[in-house]
């Protein structure tokens, strides 16, 4: 708690700034940051001349006060984490270049502040105090007390928490086991742990995966064995099979060769044995030739089924020809193959690793050496990035596939200013499609829209208006940000829409087609027109999925009544019915 004098002094400085009698540098908020006082955000707002709709008051102070008010919901360890993070977030801002930049705007401040959260979370014990709290208590508090609604900011904040769990590689396997046993994942009150569990569980996603192993002279026979063993162990977290994840391996030194053809081995145990049996060759480091071989290696890839092609390059040094490596990597990226690079030791070139990776630095993983005690943890992060990779598709390209119950297909499309129509013919089963313009792997807590088949085909228009609504910071902002987003959609071509298609029945067979613009037709479907979906049977039976049907019938978003309130409270009442009398 800061002293009374400090509080009064801060109030005076804030008042002076409000009355325009100070410059940005006149307001020093560092004392409030040191004490973790939520009035820090009042001071910050004054320092940057922000208004009540900008980050300091609208988000920073609101979150700070909410976490403080709801701290009793958290475990003792969680409460200590809250205190540390509160100070960390404030001190990160004070020590940043933005804080002392006279030309920095309130939007600059917002971008930095939100971006600093994951590091403060993890550095102060998120992976143990929050991620592994008993019975998922602290995750449930975040979902049910801090971000319980479906407003844009809550959705964004939940997505950031979910993403932060990827930074806890040493705790992931423990969470996956404990959450199943302790956290009542089917309960609406455990929605966040359930979504995190699905996000981190790679067994429900299929992809075609080529692994490129550096067998050059600098690696050495002993280190090559270590690398093979770690890679084989990593693959135990995938479901290996002809209809699931298929794996192939390229070994490269002076020249590359396909030592395990893609999908030629259909069980994990046989695959692990084959990887451990790959011979060490020695020689140069012809990374470019290994990348060139990927087009041949992926010849049998299941592109028509919407299954992503992913490659991971493991190397301990610079290639023989850096320019050729960069050129070959670009050709692979242009072919829509997602590549990750894994550098081992001090001899690697970070510039080459960045060039090899499809997403630049974000797709690069490094460890200090083959004996590094972080080898397994970093491999876990690579494993997650691999299985969370969406398939980059194009509007007009047909996808035909079958999904088992609970399995998902992740797709990414460039979103046109005309919008896009989803046309899904379902032969067997039922599907739910969750979409987002902001999150690569949308789920029930981060989706911008969702569509359920409910026994029918799907004919659904993803409109430009939905894009604007979903990407605008539109909670009582008077429309200014929404207008700004309209021009963004009109004048750029880098907007994307991400889809997660999940099978609901034991087998779900479908054909997906996409078109530019609104090409929906008045046919029996749960998503095309207000007349096309009959929700009466679900209403008669009192089924909570009535609200999913209602949402698609009226083409509502996740923020509208059917999903934001109707279904939420239906499920909550259903799960707590034992609390009521039988009458």
- Tell me the per-residue pLDDT of 173-202, one tens digit each, with 9 for 90 and over: 999 999 999 999 999 899 999 999 999 998
Kindly report the three-state secondary structure assignment for every residue of 370-421: CCCCCHHHHHHHHHHHHHCCCEECCCCCCEEEEEECCCEEEEEEECCCCCEE
User: What is the pLDDT at residue 522?
Assistant: 60
Are residues 354 and 366 in contact, defined by beta-carbon separation less than 8 angstroms? no
What does the mean pLDDT of the chain come to? 88
Report the half-sphere exposure of 361 (CA within 13 A, side-chain side). 1
- Give mean pLDDT, residues 557-564: 72
How far is residue 232's CA from residue 248's CA, in Å, rounded to a whole number? 12
Q: Is the pLDDT of residue 490 over 50?
A: no
Q: Could you give phi then psi for residue 250, rounded to 5 degrees?
A: -110, 125
**Cβ neighbours, 10 Å, residue 389:** 23
Q: Could you give phi then psi for residue 457, rounded to 5 degrees?
A: -75, 170
How far is residue 456's CA from residue 526's CA, in Å, rounded to a whole number? 7
Report field, pTM of the whole predicted structure over 0.85: no
- Same domain? For 254 and 397 the reply is no
- Give mean pLDDT, residues 151-165: 91
User: What is the pLDDT at residue 552?
Assistant: 75
Is 12 inside a domain boundary? yes
- In this structure, what CATH number is given to the domain that contains residue 347? 3.40.50.410
Is 560 inside a domain boundary? yes
How far is residue 488's CA from residue 463's CA, in Å, rounded to a whole number? 15
Is 194 inside a domain boundary? no
- Same domain? For 33 and 145 the reply is yes
Range of the domain at 553: 391-575
Q: Is 416 left (phi over 0), alpha (psi -120 to 50) or beta?
A: beta
How many structural domains are present in the chain?
3
- Same domain? For 311 and 423 the reply is no
User: What is the pLDDT at residue 153?
Assistant: 84
Domain's final residue, options 387, 416, 431: 387
> Per residue in 221-259, pLDDT tens?
999 999 999 999 999 989 999 999 999 999 999 999 999
- First-to-last C-alpha distance (Å) of the chain: 51
- Same domain? For 288 and 421 the reply is no
> Per residue in 428-473, pLDDT tens?
999 999 999 999 999 999 999 999 999 999 999 999 999 988 887 6
- Same domain? For 366 and 492 the reply is no
Q: Is the pLDDT of residue 475 over 70?
A: no
Q: Residue 433 pairs with which residues in a beta bridge? A: 451, 501
DSSP 96: S
Q: Could you give phi then psi for residue 224, rounded to 5 degrees?
A: -65, -35
Domain's final residue, options 364, 387, 410: 387
Q: Is the pLDDT of residue 489 over 90?
A: no
Q: Name the CA radius of gyration of the chain, rounded.
A: 26
User: What is the pLDDT at residue 159?
Assistant: 93
**Cβ neighbours, 10 Å, residue 129:** 22
- Same domain? For 535 and 410 the reply is yes
- Same domain? For 406 and 370 the reply is no
- Same domain? For 359 and 407 the reply is no
Are residues 157 and 59 in contact, defined by beta-carbon separation less than 8 angstroms? no
- Same domain? For 355 and 429 the reply is no
Q: How far is CA 531 from CA 176, 522, 527, 555, in A?
A: 42, 8, 10, 11
Is 505 inside a domain boundary? yes
User: What is the pLDDT at residue 474?
Assistant: 52
- Same domain? For 431 and 558 the reply is yes
Burial class (CB in 10 A: 0-12, 13-18, 19+), 182: middle
Domain's final residue, options 387, 403, 433: 387
Is 273 inside a domain boundary? yes
Q: Do strands 246-252 and 420-428 pair parallel, antiparallel, or not at all (unpaired)?
A: unpaired
Could you give the dihedral angle defined by the CA atoms of residues 233, 234, 238 and 240, in that order, rounded to the nearest 10 degrees? Answer: -50
């Amino acid at each position: 708690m800061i002293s009374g004098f400090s509080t009064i002094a801060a109030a005076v400085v804030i008042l002076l700034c409000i009355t325009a009698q100070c410059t940005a540098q006149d307001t020093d908020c560092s004392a409030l940051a040191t004490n973790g006082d939520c009035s820090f955000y009042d001071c910050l707002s004054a320092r940057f001349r922000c208004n009540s709709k900008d980050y300091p008051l609208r988000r920073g102070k609101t979150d700070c006060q909410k976490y403080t008010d709801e701290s009793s919901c958290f475990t003792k360890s969680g409460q200590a984490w809250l205190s540390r993070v509160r100070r960390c977030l404030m001190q990160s801002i004070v020590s940043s270049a933005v804080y002392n930049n006279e030309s920095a705007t309130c939007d600059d401040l917002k971008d930095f502040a939100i971006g600093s959260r994951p590091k403060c979370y993890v550095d102060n014990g998120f992976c143990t105090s929050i991620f592994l709290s008993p019975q998922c208590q602290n995750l449930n508090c975040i979902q049910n007390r801090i971000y319980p609604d479906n407003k844009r900011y809550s959705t964004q904040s939940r997505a950031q928490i979910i993403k932060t769990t990827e930074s806890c590689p040493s705790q992931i396997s423990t969470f996956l086991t404990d959450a199943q046993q302790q956290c009542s994942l089917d309960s609406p009150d455990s929605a966040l742990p359930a979504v995190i569990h699905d996000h981190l569980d790679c067994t429900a996603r299929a992809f075609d995966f080529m692994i490129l192993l550096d067998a050059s002279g600098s690696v050495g026979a002993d280190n090559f064995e270590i690398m093979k063993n770690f890679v084989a162990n990593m693959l135990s977290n995938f479901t290996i099979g002809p209809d699931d994840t298929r794996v192939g391996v390229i070994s490269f030194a002076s020249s590359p060769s396909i030592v395990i053809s893609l999908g030629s081995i259909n069980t994990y145990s046989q695959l692990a044995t084959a990887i451990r049996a790959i011979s060490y060759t020695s020689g140069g480091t012809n990374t470019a030739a290994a990348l060139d071989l990927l087009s041949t290696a992926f010849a049998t890839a299941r592109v028509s089924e919407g299954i992503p092609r992913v490659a991971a390059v493991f190397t301990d040094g610079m290639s023989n020809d850096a320019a050729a490596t960069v050129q070959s990597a670009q050709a692979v990226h242009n072919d829509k193959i997602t590549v990750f690079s894994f550098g081992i030791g001090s001899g690697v070139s970070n510039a080459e690793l960045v060039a090899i990776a499809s997403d630049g630095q974000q797709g690069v993983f490094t460890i200090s050496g083959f004996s590094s005690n972080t080898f397994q943890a970093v491999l876990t992060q690579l494993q997650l990035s691999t299985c969370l990779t969406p398939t980059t598709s194009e509007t007009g390209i047909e996808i035909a596939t079958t999904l088992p119950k609970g399995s998902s297909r992740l797709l990414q499309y460039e979103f046109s200013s005309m919008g896009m129509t989803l046309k899904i013919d379902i032969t067997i089963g039922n599907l739910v499609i969750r979409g987002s313009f902001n999150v690569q792997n949308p789920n029930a807590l981060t989706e911008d829209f969702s569509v359920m088949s409910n026994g029918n085909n799907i004919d659904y228009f993803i409109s430009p208006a939905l894009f604007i609504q979903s990407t605008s910071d539109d909670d009582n902002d008077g429309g200014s940000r929404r207008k700004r987003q309209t021009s963004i959609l009109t004048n750029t071509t880098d907007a994307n829409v991400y889809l997660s298609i999940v099978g609901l029945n034991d087998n779900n067979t479908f054909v997906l087609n996409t078109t530019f613009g609104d090409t929906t037709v008045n046919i029996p479907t749960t998503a095309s027109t207000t007349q096309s979906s009959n929700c009466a049977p679900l209403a008669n039976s009192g089924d909570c999925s009535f609200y999913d049907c209602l949402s698609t019938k009226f083409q509502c978003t996740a923020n509208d009544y059917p999903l934001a309130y109707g279904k939420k409270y239906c499920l909550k009442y259903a799960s707590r019915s034992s609390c009521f009398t039988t009458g």
